[in-house]
Amino acid sequence: MITVKSIQRYPVKGLSPERLKEVALETGGTLPADRAFAVENGPSGFDAAEPKWLPKAKFLCWMKNPKLSLLESRYDDPTGMLTVSTPHASVTGDLAKAEGRAAVEAFLSVFMGEEQRGPLRILSADGHSFSDVSKKLVSFINLASVEEIGQAIGVELDPVRFRGNVHVAGMPAWSEATLVGKEFQIGEARFRAVKTIQRCLATHVDPARGVRDHDVMGAIRGMRGDMDCGVYAEVVAPGTIRSGDEIVLVQPEIPL
């Protein structure tokens, strides 16, 4: 049986994941508040009045800033409060207010040090997601594929390196790529897989130490001839998904 092992969202792009037991999804949407905020690292050209997709290099992100993995963050939807912590200090700010954003920005500025390219500024826009892709999608990571990459390298890899929304258990390694173009059901929601996910240097980051350690991209290329691991899927029918839910192909005659 193929199941949802865990569900994660990332309210602030580049900061830590938040584990969810269940989540209600809307047609054509991301997980609620997933990448709802990003931290501009110097002028990015983002316009909140006319929000458009920008490449992740414009913002703080694991690909450029591995030490971000050392931060723990927690966002509270009802209050808009974000807490960001290191082992030695923390800050809490209301992201709906200028003074709250300024407090978090100042904390991150000290933490980032010389990795700043300019003033750090927390960005958001109603309904916008600072995803790595312009379309609003949900990312699925096959844990068996992650395990096989680790075996090729000779280490156990934390799947958080892949910063996916849904971790999938029970699927043969790399078979997620065969889902592209197909629909599947989780709980009350239905998805259509639209593309595989090309990996970047974020996968080289050890989440526990905040440094790049293993050539994950090279390992994937050696096994597959590309740098893809995981799939993006769009929500085509709304509903709630839960950790432990079974993942069922809408066309079950198609083998995984």
Residue 255 lies in a domain: no
Please indicate, yes or no, whether residues 146 and 190 belong to a single structural domain of this protein.
yes
Residue 128 lies in a domain: no
Residue 256 lies in a domain: no
Please indicate, yes or no, whether residues 210 and 107 belong to a single structural domain of this protein.
no
Give the type of residue at 36: A
Residue 107, both tokens: 């904390």
Please indicate, yes or no, whether residues 114 and 188 belong to a single structural domain of this protein.
no
Residue 254 lies in a domain: no
User: Which of 69, 92, 123 delimits the end of a domain?
Assistant: 123
The single residue listed with the structure tokens 């980051």 is 205
Spell out the per-residue pLDDT of the chain, length 256, in tens.
Answer: 999 999 999 999 999 999 999 999 999 999 999 999 999 999 999 999 999 999 999 999 999 999 999 999 999 999 999 999 998 999 999 999 999 999 999 999 999 999 999 999 999 999 999 999 999 999 999 999 999 999 999 999 999 999 999 999 999 999 999 999 999 999 999 999 999 999 999 999 999 999 999 999 999 999 999 999 999 999 999 999 999 999 999 865 544 4
pLDDT for 102? 98
How far CA 13 is from CA of 32, 41, 129, in Å, comes to 14, 12, 9
Q: 61 is in which domain, residue-wise?
A: 38-123
Report the CATH number at residue 222.
Answer: 2.40.33.20
* Cβ atoms of residues 161 and 203 within 8 Å: yes
Please indicate, yes or no, whether residues 16 and 114 belong to a single structural domain of this protein.
no
Please indicate, yes or no, whether residues 146 and 214 belong to a single structural domain of this protein.
yes
* Cβ atoms of residues 146 and 162 within 8 Å: yes
Q: What is the pTM of this model?
A: 0.95
Residue 47 lies in a domain: yes
Please indicate, yes or no, whether residues 72 and 104 belong to a single structural domain of this protein.
yes
Please indicate, yes or no, whether residues 25 and 141 belong to a single structural domain of this protein.
yes
Residue 19 lies in a domain: yes
pLDDT for 252? 53
pLDDT for 223? 94
What DSSP character marks residue 32?
T
Give the type of residue at 242: R
**CA–CA gap between residue 180 and residue 162 (Å, rounded):** 19
